[in-house]
Structures are given as C-alpha cells and as structure tokens.
DNA sequence: CACGATTTAATCGTGCACAATATGTATTTT
DNA sequence: AAAATACATATTGTGCACGATTAAATCGTG
C-alpha cells in the first residue's frame, strides 16, 4: 500500500482490478450455474429460484414466507409472486396461520412432494459438471460463505 | 460412490446436498456483492451491470454491442435497453458503424469518461469489504473461472 | 383497555436476464 | 445480379430482484 499526499491510504490499480475481477467472477459463475440448471429444470417446469424454494420446503415440509425469505435471503417482493406461480403450478399451497394471521404458511402439495425424487434424479448431472471433487466443493463453498459474511457486515 | 442394482453410479445424498450448497453459495455471494456495490453506485446513478459495461468501455474507449456482450456474457436482449439507459444518462453514445451498418458502436461521452476517476475513488471501499488479501482473491477468482468453464462446456 | 410501534405479506415500479422472434445488413452461392 | 444464407441488433414476453409503500394483525406499555 502506498500513501497519497494527503495521507489517505491508496489501493494500487492492480488490486482494484483484481477485486473487480473477483466480483465479476462471482457474478459470472452465478449465471453459468443458472444456465447449466436451466435445461434440466425446464423439464419439470421450474426456474432456479423456484427450485431453491422447493429445496427448503422438501427439507422442512412447510414454512412461513418470512422463514423462506430468511433462508434464501429474498424479500416478499420477490417471493410473493414466485410463490403464487408455484401455487398455480399445483406444487404448493398457501394458507394464513390461524395462530398468527399475519403469517402465510407455505406447504407442499402431493405433487410438490412427489417432485423431489424426480428432480433429485436429474440433478445428479450438475454436480458432475462442476468438475469439483467433494473437498474442492466444500472449500469453495466455505470461502464464498465467508466472502458473503464479510460483504454484508460492512 | 455406491452402485444401484442396475449398475448405475449413484451420488450419495450428502454430496448432492453439498453441490446444491455450492451452487447456492455462488448465487448468494453474487447478491451480496450487488448489495455491497449498490449504495456506492447509487451515488453516481449506475446499476451494477451498467457499471460492468462502463468498466469495459473505460478500458477500450469504444466497442460494438456484440463485443461488450462477449466480454460480459450478456445478449442483446439485456444490453439494448441497458445501453439505451446509459445513453439517456449522457454517459455513452450509440452510432452505426459506417463500415458495417449492422454493428452499433458504443463510445464514451466526455461525462462517461470523466466518471472513471470518480467511481474508482469510491470503489476502493469494496475491495476492503471482501476481507480477502490479494492471494486469496486471485485464488478464489481462478477457481470460479474454472468452475464457470466446467459448467459451460457440459 | 387503548393506542402507538412492530411484524408480516402483498403490491408497484424499475431494471436485469434470457428465449424467441423480427428486421435490416452483409456475404456467399448460383 | 438474384437468391439464399449468415450476421448484428432490436423487440417482446416472462420471470427474478429489490426498494418503497400499503394494509392488516399483533404486541407492548401506560
């Protein structure tokens, strides 16, 4: 690190460039994942964010909109219409929690539950496509999670 | 790896879960980057994808829409309206190439060029926020780039 | 109990991302 | 040169993503 005349810390151009590259690498890898998943998810009529919602539901059975949002880091402006589409597709149902009428409980329908194995089977290909072994995947995942934590606690 | 009765290779649930986590980690880190950049980019009235376009223009001065698309891995359906907004903001200009009227050449206006230092200055903060040193950043970037290559050459 | 503060979803507006399609231009074939 | 083909960009439609706003339900405290 060098210093400017006024004593401010200055980041060299090369590092700024690198930081941008890292940022773009993440952005770009996310698109690549999306494209890899798309043809597979198309077969069952799901988008990738819809698939994420189904994943958390397959694990827990039923959840409030808020909880889904916390798990996926998405707000109601994104989830409300998405969940409406999943409902229309007959995969989930929505109902106000009688204990607390503010909350909407999302639960899997029979079709939604049944889709789990179907998707699980065709998803196997993607894991292979990453070209990573288990250790590599875990390592990369952990670093990205740490990166996210760093970025959100600015 | 275990085998099913019919001799098919089967991926254990745990690894499938991990692969999904990696995929989600990438998706989620991309959102985190976006959110970290947003308040800074808001000050100059740019979105993150618009910033990416400006980055490649700051490096080259002027480029065709197609070239920008190749560099950022975006198609005309995304770029056309985005570039129109940048034009409206007075940062770029669009003109058909007289040599080949199919191409539209995007070039920086004076304002667009001038924004470079302005943005560069306020961007420094993000690099810090990643909490990565130079080596870590480079390593992470390289792995993500490889991951992308693997995913796109399925 | 009452009333203001908080919580939870939904809605609206803007902008990205991408598939499919259209349109005009350039190149190649015949 | 005319027709066929390929190419570069624009347009349209669908679905995220998110900020801001709204509306209803609940909670906390006097």
Q: Which residue is nearest to nucleotide D21 (CA to C1')?
A: A77
DSSP secondary structure letters along B8-41: -EE--HHHHHHHHHHHHHHHHHHHHHHHHHHHHH
Summarised one tens digit per residue, pLDDT across range A91-113 is 999 999 999 999 999 999 999 99
Cβ <8 Å between A129 and B143: no
The span from the CA of A131 to the CA of A144, in Å, is 17
Distance (Å) from the C-alpha of residue B120 to the closest C-alpha of chain A?
Answer: 8
- Three-state secondary structure call for residue B138: helix
Q: Within 7 Å: CB of A77 and strand C?
A: yes
- In angstroms, how far is CA B49 from the centroid of its own chain? 6
Q: Which of A21, A23, A124 sits opposite B33 (nearest CB)?
A: A23
Q: Within 7 Å: CB of A102 and strand C?
A: yes
Burial of A130 (0-12, 13-18, 19+ CB in 10 A): buried
Percent of chain A with pLDDT over 70: 87
Summarised one tens digit per residue, pLDDT across range A22-57 is 999 999 999 999 999 999 999 999 999 999 999 999
Q: Within 7 Å: CB of B34 and strand C?
A: no
Number of H helices, E strands in chain B: 6, 5
pTM above 0.85, yes or no: yes
The span from the CA of A110 to the CA of A151, in Å, is 39
Contact partners, residue A79, CB within 8 Å, separation at least 6: A53, A65, A68, A69
The span from the CA of B131 to the CA of B95, in Å, is 42
Examine the pLDDT at A60 and tell me if it is beyond 80.
yes
Examine the pLDDT at A63 and tell me if it is beyond 50.
yes
The span from the CA of A117 to the CA of B153, in Å, is 26
Examine the pLDDT at B63 and tell me if it is beyond 60.
yes
Set of chain A residues whose Cβ sits within 8 Å of the Cβ of B137: 18-19, 22
Examine the pLDDT at B45 and tell me if it is beyond 90.
yes
């Amino acid at each position: 690190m060098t210093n400017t005349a006024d004593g401010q810390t200055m980041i060299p151009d090369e590092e700024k460039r690198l930081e941008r590259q890292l940022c773009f690498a993440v952005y770009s890898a996310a698109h690549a994942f999306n494209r890899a998943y798309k043809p597979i998810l198309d077969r069952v009529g799901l988008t990738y964010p819809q698939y994420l919602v189904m994943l958390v539901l397959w694990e827990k059975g039923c959840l409030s909109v808020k909880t889904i949002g916390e798990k996926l880091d998405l707000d109601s402006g994104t989830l409300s219409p998405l969940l409406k589409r999943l409902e229309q597709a007959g995969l989930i149902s929505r109902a106000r929690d009688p204990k607390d009428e503010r909350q909407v409980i999302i639960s899997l329908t029979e079709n939604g539950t049944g889709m789990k194995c179907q998707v699980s089977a065709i998803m196997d290909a993607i894991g292979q496509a990453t070209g990573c072994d288990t250790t590599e995947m875990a390592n990369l995942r952990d670093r990205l999670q740490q990166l996210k934590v760093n970025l959100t606690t600015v």
